[in-house]
Amino acid sequence: MDVDLRDLELLEALDQHATLTAAAAHLFLSQPALSQRLIRLEERLGSPLFERSGRRLVPNQAGERMLRAARNVLWEVRAATHDVRETSRGRRQPVRLASQCAGNYQWLPPVLRAFRDRMPGVEVLIDRANDSEVIPALLAGDLDVAIVSKLDPRMSQVRLERLFDDELVAVVAADHEWATRALVRAEDFADVHLVLYDAYDPTRAPAVALPVPLDARPGRLTTVPTVTELLIETVVSTGAVSVLPTWTVAPYLRTHPVVTVHVDDPGQRRTWYCATRHAPRREQVDAFAELLRTTLTGPPILLPAAETRP
């Protein structure tokens, strides 16, 4: 074979560090030694893999193809090595999960029960990554499964399987002035007190865009811990407005004096996906992703205004 694991590690290092000097330091090699290894690899393959741009090495078409292979092979070898070591110690690697919809995991218990029946002893760990960090964490191998809806240029690098559609709706107390309206528009938010999860705290970095129309300018913003019941109680007691996904607010429409109002903005409707890496996956990751699909795939979760009135 013309390529071995050390060659793949070389390609990975160049992809991550972009310069021969940095890649060589990462691999604990001298820069001339790494340069010679790259030259020999390109000679064996009969094609250059990188173009120079200043001090940086930029992969060409052949390089991109080899990098995809390197990522897949190295990930699988490392995962297999880890699994064998963990199994030899009597443990099994957990499934690491994150969702871009912070804290909205009311769908999780039935999935966990089914997963526990299928694969007893395998843990599911929930990571509270920021929305913008979920896809990078998945690609880096720090997550195994992600529930995503927000567009990210790196989504083309992961495997996406559609789960369901939902809608972001305004949530108000039953006696709020909006409660009898069919919908609200961006300008209606001008003087309102908006209450959201603390994931939307504007002092956080990176800041997360508010779940309201782009032109909306709320009069006041309050953020609370990611506890839906606390947020709902705040809406009821203060006359504030919140914006929540329909899948989150639906259970509270029967237990609390709140109603939902459609927001006149096409960006309020979203499609949710189960995201995993393209590389071969561990058995427990496949099992968990399958249970997510069978549990969550269904008709759109959209609440017609008439159905939200008490």
* Position 231 pLDDT exceeds 70: yes
pLDDT reported for residue 87: 62
pLDDT class for 88, splitting at 50, 70, 90?
low
pLDDT reported for residue 174: 96
* Position 297 pLDDT exceeds 90: no
- The average confidence (pLDDT) of the chain is 85
pLDDT class for 181, splitting at 50, 70, 90?
very high
pLDDT class for 79, splitting at 50, 70, 90?
confident
Q: At what angle do helices 31-45 and 5-17 cross, to 10 degrees?
A: 120
* Position 8 pLDDT exceeds 60: yes
- State the amino acid at position 52 in one-letter form: R
d(CA 111, CA 290): 10
pLDDT reported for residue 156: 83
pLDDT reported for residue 227: 84
Instruction: Return the CA Rg of the chain.
Output: 24
* Position 105 pLDDT exceeds 80: no
* Position 284 pLDDT exceeds 50: yes
pLDDT reported for residue 306: 35
* 191, 184 contact by CB (below 8 A): no
* Position 298 pLDDT exceeds 60: no
* Position 304 pLDDT exceeds 50: no
pLDDT reported for residue 90: 43
d(CA 95, CA 116): 12
Q: What is the pLDDT of residues 115-165, one digit of tens each?
A: 999 988 888 998 877 777 888 899 888 999 999 887 777 888 899 998 888
Kindly state the average pLDDT of the residues 166-189: 94
* Position 103 pLDDT exceeds 70: no
- State the amino acid at position 123 in one-letter form: E
Half-sphere exposure at residue 113, Cβ-oriented, CA atoms within 13 angstroms: 5
Output the CA torsion sign for 218, 221, 225, 227.
negative
Kindly state the average pLDDT of the residues 251-272: 90
* 136, 229 contact by CB (below 8 A): no
Kindly state the average pLDDT of the residues 22-45: 89
What is the percent of the chain with per-residue pLDDT over 70, rounded to a whole number?
Answer: 92
pLDDT reported for residue 302: 42
pLDDT reported for residue 239: 92
The full set of domains in the chain, from first to last, is 5-88 (1.10.10.10), 95-164+271-300 (3.40.190.10), 165-268 (3.40.190.10)
* 153, 263 contact by CB (below 8 A): no
